[in-house]
Amino acid sequence: MKKIFLAALTAVLTLNASAQNNVTFGIRAGLNIANITTSGSQTNASINLGSRVGFHIGAIADIPVAENFYIQPGLFFSQKGFSTDATNQSSAEGKPLYLEVPVLASYRIKASDEVNISLEAGPYLAYGLGGSGTLSSGNQTASGDYFDDDTNRFDAGLKIGAGVTFSQHYYVGMAYEWGFVNLLKDYDNISVKNKNLMISLGYNF
């Protein structure tokens, strides 16, 4: 999977050599409202998953490939995670930081001379750089590294979003990410996957 993705990214970055002068760049930053979803269980405990607020910051490139159609690779630092409260007065919170590479297909709609709408979708690949996890039960609290021996650092999934660009430079947008990779290693009867809503502001050069 990683080799295929990197090969695709290399191909994307070399697309349309004759139009290299039309490639533009931008910066993005904003909030993540992150969560995890679980399926399967080893216990009968009732757990309510809660979202937590993180951040993202990074850069994108717009590579034109056809009229109104672009390929948009990016590179981001993105803090995701979760917050849970269980019925037995215990809670847990995770704050992982990822280095993330999305490669999106982007279609542009000119709403007016000053406003452009973009519709975007594509895969992302992410690697966990670090982060912390906290577990509380009663009056006791324990903390540790988020990415321990039982947790996958690699994640991959689908990203879908939309945005509006004003005066060719000022960007505001939203996107949603579905993680496809089980964050737990060697667990056949439980699956934990990232989900993330992104709210972004940006500037296109």
Q: Is 139 left (phi over 0), alpha (psi -120 to 50) or beta?
A: alpha
Please choose, from the candidates 29, 96, 25, 26, the residue with its C-alpha nearest in 3D space to the C-alpha of residue 56: 29
Residues 6+ apart with CB under 8 A from 4: none
* Token pair of 182 as six digits: 């089980």
- Of the pLDDT bands very low, low, confident and very high (cuts 50, 70, 90), residue 7 is low
Query: In the chain, what percentage of residues exceed pLDDT 90?
Result: 59
Rounded to the nearest integer, the mean pLDDT of the chain is 86
| Number of domains observed in the structure of the chain | 1
Task: Summarize the confidence of residues 169-181 as an average pLDDT.
Answer: 97
Q: Which domain holds residue 39?
A: 2-204
Which amino acid makes up residue 170?
Answer: Y
| pLDDT tens profile 81-134 | 988 876 567 778 889 999 999 999 999 999 999 999 999 999 999 999 998 888
pLDDT at 170: 97
Higher pLDDT, 55 or 3: 55
Q: Return the CATH number at 67.
A: 2.40.160.20
- pTM over cut 0.95: no
pLDDT at 126: 98
